[in-house]
Amino acid sequence: MQSSTPRIVKLGNNPGCPCGGTHVADISEIWSMKVSQIRTKKGLTKVFYSVGT
């Protein structure tokens, strides 16, 4: 198994977090995205979603 540096995903001015998902070569490969839930607790927001490719 090859070691690599994790990809860091940042949205706007928010701090980055390691990406743990499957990557696409181009955003046009994503056919749909559905946000299923948004939770906020103690100032931390979690977004749950599914993506169709």
In a domain? residue 6: no
Chain segment 1-25, per-residue pLDDT in tens: 566 777 787 778 888 877 777 778 8
Domain that holds residue 39: 26-53
Whether 39 has a pLDDT exceeding 90, the answer reads yes
Domain membership flag for residue 50: yes
Q: Side chain identity at 42, as an amino acid letter? A: K
Q: Taking 70 as the threshold, does the pLDDT of residue 34 lie above it?
A: yes
Give residue for tokens 């939770």: 39
pTM across the whole model: 0.51
Domain count, the chain: 1
Residue 18 lies in a domain: no
The pLDDT assigned to 2 comes to: 63
Taking alpha carbons only, the member of 5, 7, 35, 36 closest to residue 23 is 7
Determine, yes or no, domain membership for 5: no
In a domain, 10, yes or no: no
**pLDDT-derived band at 27, boundaries 50, 70, 90:** confident
